[in-house]
Chains A and B, each alone.
Chain A
Amino acid sequence: MTVTTKFKSGRTEPGEAYVSDHSGSPHAHFMRLTSYALVPLGALSAWWILGLAGKTLDGVRAEIARPIPAIVLLVFGVIGMVHARRGMDDIIEDYVHDDALKAQALVANLWASRAIAALWVVAILLLAAPK
């Protein structure tokens, strides 16, 4: 991402020049580290997610309320949404040019991703809890 500075270039007014905030490499590294974890987690989760189609409540419980599917889906949801949040940040920074709207969209993205991850964890825990 870029930040404004007081730097005055030949082409811009003061405060209008953009410089890097040096978050690019850590961002790329973060996306890669999470994606390595998401390769096995995503492939396994896809298998169980497809099994949810057209199931009854007992069918859904039988599909994912077992230790390994529950744990894999739990971790997939959390790491997936962390990865998705940073990816959506990229999309917002690329396409939203209005500064105020961009700042709002980034905050909305942060909390939407946290809400999805939190509710995902609660739902899986409730499903997997012994009845």
Chain B
Amino acid sequence: MQETLENQSPETSVRGSRPRSSRPSPPVVFGQSGIAMAFYKSGALADIVIILGVLGIFYGIIQAGREWTGILRPTVLIDLSFRALPRYTLFSLIRGLAAYGISLLFTIIYGYWAAKDRLAEKLLVPILDILQSIPVLGFMPGVVLALVSLFPHSNVGLELAAVFMIFTGQAWNMTFSFYNSLKSVPQYLQEAGSIYRFNWWQRLTQIELPYSAVGLIWNSMMSMAGGWFFLMVTESFQLGNRDFRLPGIGSYMSVAVEKGNVPAMAGAVVAMIIMIVMLDQLLWRPLVVWAQKFRIEDTSQEESMQSWFLDLLRHSHMLRWIGNINAAVGRRFATMTSVLFQRAPRYMTGAASEAPNDTSPATHRRSFLSFVPRLLFILLVGVLAVALVQVVRLLATVRISEWLRLLRSDLLTLARVIVAVVLGTLWALPAGLRIGLSPRLSKIMQPIVQVAASFPAPMLFPAVILVLTKLNVRIGFGSIVLMLLGTQWYILFNVIAGAQAIPSDLKEAAASYHITARQRFWSLYLPAVFPYLVTGWVTATGGAWNASIVAELVTFRGQTLRAQGIGSIISEAAFGAKFGELAAAIFLMALTVVLINRFVWRPLYAIASTRYNISK
């Protein structure tokens, strides 16, 4: 999936270097007074922004710390006034970022281990694949209950549960991306690293991390967007009459819905959008533009991506100063590790021909640290074995008749997932083509679609259910609409990217031979966007399965709406602590996901990457 995601990155040629001064100075535009521009260029503005940013982060941490260590309340107290909204948004943001930090750490450790240890790789990659297929939302009640009982007197348990749930929505695709990058570092770069005796630290920081950066950043963006879904669900989590809601934008929304406070609902939606846009402008876009310097290809592209915030930061003296220190420390550390773990290589053999042979860094490391990965591996196998035994024991308690009921429900949910994806494709494919083929529309619509894709659908569930009940739609069908709400954007998003990537000579050929619109669709547009469409489908089905857990069982104004399906069974089993049933249902759902991956998506991917690969 990673390659296709990378394909979506707008082609750019921006470098990490400072803007060259050779460019003619821009004419002074009305409103850009000389003083303001000088202030901007001197870097003072950038330094002030950085100082304010650091102070803001400190403030956030202090606020969050106070909230975390606060006493656990029986019910959440949410102030529905707009003045309180920024604070709640900040809390949600901190949870998302904390989870992202953990995801990144997990990604680097797990991905590195899987890529470097041949033996562990055979276990770690399938585990990751399974983790990716498991509907983690099913574990939420268990995780919340366990962590709350660990910290009975403070909010720490609840907060940790929220962060953990978001983490499970973020980590897997990032890890896959990093692992794949590590495995695909070009051979000549690896050989250069070997021949010049780079140690593992130098390899990691100077070859492997830079090489992985582009893919990792794109996947981080996707992950962060996916994480909001889990944030909304955990923040507004209630179990029976127990209230586990956390002060945040999700609980604000859920209280607003309970109270029927429409302005507050709208406020929450606006706050969420502002948060998504701010993150994009202040974090992701600068990162993406900066990461252009890690691209491998030499090709220079026509259109370059810009980030005003990065341009601002590049004027900063403070950052340059920190960067220099950082580089010096990095070099020192690399030298230090090479002195510690290996002898400095000699390139002259003549002087000391009786000295023993210089050996590769790899063999040195093996002798020095070989027991650590082995130990970890044994530990891993042990944990897995115990977990497996437990799961099998749980599954053994489920009766055959029960299995049959679960299977029926599973098929019902599968049908809903398929219908949701088909419905999504029916409108997103033509719309995506329309947008992607028109540069003007793309420019307007793409940012909107991006925000829509990042927007957590569960936030809108109450409003949609309100409309559905007014229209007398039963929840069995209504849940399809709820699934569609979150997943259609993935399809749209990918189709737009695919349509933009259609080479203009093909479009021109179609036009010059007067090919009709209908034929153009079937013989050019559809095949050309097919690989992107498959990526969109995979992401969308994954999202739909997860959404089924919250879409098939919804509490709306004190009333529970339930649709027959594996999602509602997982929810109920989790609420009722029926662990045997829960394990069986999750097992069935994960199995379905894995089977579909293997027998539907993988063959489709194979076709997409050979027959419908436009770059070949």
Chains A and B bind each other: no
User: Which residues of A does B touch, CB under 8 Å?
Assistant: none
User: Which residues of B does A touch, CB under 8 Å?
Assistant: none
